[in-house]
Structure 1
């Protein structure tokens, strides 16, 4: 039975990911976040373990990695945190890493939308280029998710993927769809997502900016 560690488990994507992992899989979950015990509601205590900690808490992070098969990181803003996570995974022989990052880190967003996207999140792109490189330079079996602009819509789990070197496919995607993609990656045994950076968008959303802007 696989054990998945969700780092940043109190975030918005995990709010959809956690219940769907419990519903669709038999995985055990470790839920790691600052003040996690007060921010997270456990529905299956036999399968969910809540851990209070931040990414600079080396001892707690190392303890959290014990017995883990895969790690999902919900935020890749801070290079020190990402390096700490890589170090903890290496020390505990945890190989599979899935990380949520942003579109634009490979200069892959073209046209009017690309210009709008850069004007909106240029500083975020710069920071996440650095954290993505740290992951790519590691020996982890990583999958980086370059996410389009996020919104919520129950029942909409449609996603479209683009590879590195391809133009980004659309402007937006639901958090529900991202959660489903993460589950699909965790369930995949073919290694088709291994050591890849993939663009993630909703099909048929090639707009000049997200529809909710």
Structure 2
């Protein structure tokens, strides 16, 4: 399997790359601005580094030649998402897994929902607009609406909620998100296709994350 990681220098992407190399036989294309500098040390016969920008649709299309799955580490910029979708459609690549934010459907209630609004600094509409681009495309997408993140080695516990359900859980580790992406890639069924998943850690249905 050939997997393209867009935004490969991000924290989740780095955990994901390591997991995929350890747990699968996949070949990885790591795409990021100044990837050859920022991702030094990732050289391997199973890894290809590409210096690129999400808005460079032509380069994205070229890079997607032979790719089976695309993972996008940042669904913040609507124009970038349009470029990625266009490149995938041109290249004939259908499968995409994309990291976004909780709260894009106003699905977070209670005290946590009240805490979330000011902490989001008015950025949720940008995530929502970008998500709509993906949901209105013809791609086989899985959208990950991720709660507040932290790092903890060995903690790969996650729980999922579906679009239309209240979001539950205030925090999750980046390691768990990476594990989820690996699990989705390895899943042979269609249960994650064209789905929007809330991602959190079990047992964290609190008023706010523990690290705030």
Please give the TM-score of this superposition, normalised by the length of structure 2.
0.98
Give the SS at the match of 1:161: strand
Matched, 1:211 2:205: no
- The 1-side partners of 2:45 and 2:17 are apart by 14
**Which residue matches 2:120?**
121
Counterpart position of 1:132:
131
Instruction: Give the length in aligned residue pairs.
Output: 212
Greater shift in the superposed pair: 37-46 or 7-16:
37-46
- Conserved 8 A contact 1:42-1:48: no
- Does the 8 Å CA contact 2:58/2:87 hold for their aligned counterparts? no
Structure 1 unaligned regions, length at least 5:
none
Normalising by structure 1, what TM-score? Answer: 0.97
- Name the Cα RMSD after superposition: 0.9
Q: CA deviation at 1:193?
A: 0.4
Mapping for residues 169-188 of structure 1, pairs under 5 Å: 169-188=168-187
* 1:123 partner SS: coil
Distance 1:204 1:41 in 2: 37
The CA distance in 1 between the partners of 2:58 and 2:83, in whole Å, is 11
State the Cα distance separating 1:59 from its structure 2 match: 2.4
Matches of 1:71 and 1:42, distance apart in 2: 22
Q: Corresponding residue for 1:34?
A: 33
Q: Give the corresponding residue for 1:9.
A: 8
Corresponding residue of 1:102: 101
Q: Matched residues in 2 for 1:197 and 1:122: separation?
A: 23
By how many angstroms is 1:22 displaced?
A: 0.2
1:195 equivalent to 2:194? Answer: yes
Structure 2 contact 35–50 (Cα < 8 Å) conserved? yes
* 1:155-209 CA-partner distances (Å, limit 9, x unpaired): 0000000001111110000000000000000001101100000000000001111
Question: Residue 63 of structure 1 aligns with which residue?
Answer: 62
